[in-house]
Amino acid sequence: MYLPVVFCIIALIIVALFMSLRISIEFTAGSEGISYTVKGIVFKYIKILEIKSNSEKKRKKTKGGEKKRGRILGIIRTAMRKKNGKAVHIEKFSLTGTFSVDDAAANAILYGGFIILWQFAVLFLSEHFTFEHQNYAFYPDFQNDKTEFIFQIIFRVVIFKALLLLARYWLESKINNKTE
């Protein structure tokens, strides 16, 4: 009688473990001003968190929470370092827009410098993360004297892999502490 209910619960737990969590960060600057948006998305369509630059919330400070958060962040940092970041996928890494200064030669020099910095960023990210798509369309505008750009990065983490990674390195740290 309860067997179908148990199977449904087990199926939901398995689906929840293998779902992806996406964190999208978008930074926009232009003549209107500077704004940012941070979104947390599950299953690529279900938004669980959205923070925009004009809606800032103040956090309450807790005494015990800082210690726990520090321990968890330490475990995550250690796990990422040992795994070399390959548990986190960078789905999209994009910079689009235009820039302009008064001198055309300065525009060309800035464009070359930006391309070099972009390539260094792509090499660094592809070495430390699983890197999928990148787009660079940040060009000099010789007609207008305005600068506008949009920077977007989307991180994707499979929850099951992240939990396994954290559990493994937490157990290793406990074992190392007992042997010392």
Q: What is the pLDDT of residues 58-103, one digit of tens each?
A: 444 445 445 555 666 666 666 666 655 566 788 889 999 998 888 8
Beta-strand pair 130-140/148-158 = unpaired
DSSP percent split of the chain into helix, strand, coil, nearest 5: 45, 35, 20
What is the residue range of 175's domain? 20-53+79-179
Residue 66 falls inside a structural domain: no
Residue 144 falls inside a structural domain: yes
Residue 135 has pLDDT above 70, yes or no: yes
pLDDT attached to residue 16? 64
pLDDT attached to residue 73? 65
Ranges assigned E (strand) in 31-82: 33-42, 46-52
Residues whose CB falls within 8 Å of the CB of residue 88, separated by 6 or more in sequence, listed in order? 80, 129, 130, 155, 156, 157
The token pair at 23 is 């964190």
Residue 107 has pLDDT above 80, yes or no: yes
Residue 163 falls inside a structural domain: yes
Distance, in Å, from the CA atom of 6 to the CA atom of 118, rounded to the nearest integer, reads 51
Residue 97 falls inside a structural domain: yes
pLDDT attached to residue 77? 66
Say how many domains are in the chain: 1
pTM value surpassing 0.85: no
Q: Which of these ranges, 32-41, 57-66, 78-87, 165-174, has the smallest mean pLDDT?
A: 57-66
pLDDT attached to residue 55? 62
Q: Which of these ranges, 48-52, 64-68, 75-79, 150-154, has the smallest mean pLDDT?
A: 64-68
Residue 147 falls inside a structural domain: yes
Residue 172 falls inside a structural domain: yes
Residue 60 falls inside a structural domain: no
Residue 13 falls inside a structural domain: no
The token pair at 101 is 């200064």
CA-angle at 7, arms to 4 and 9, nearest 5°: 110
The token pair at 180 is 């010392």
CB-based burial label for 75 (10 Å; 0-12, 13-18, 19+):
middle
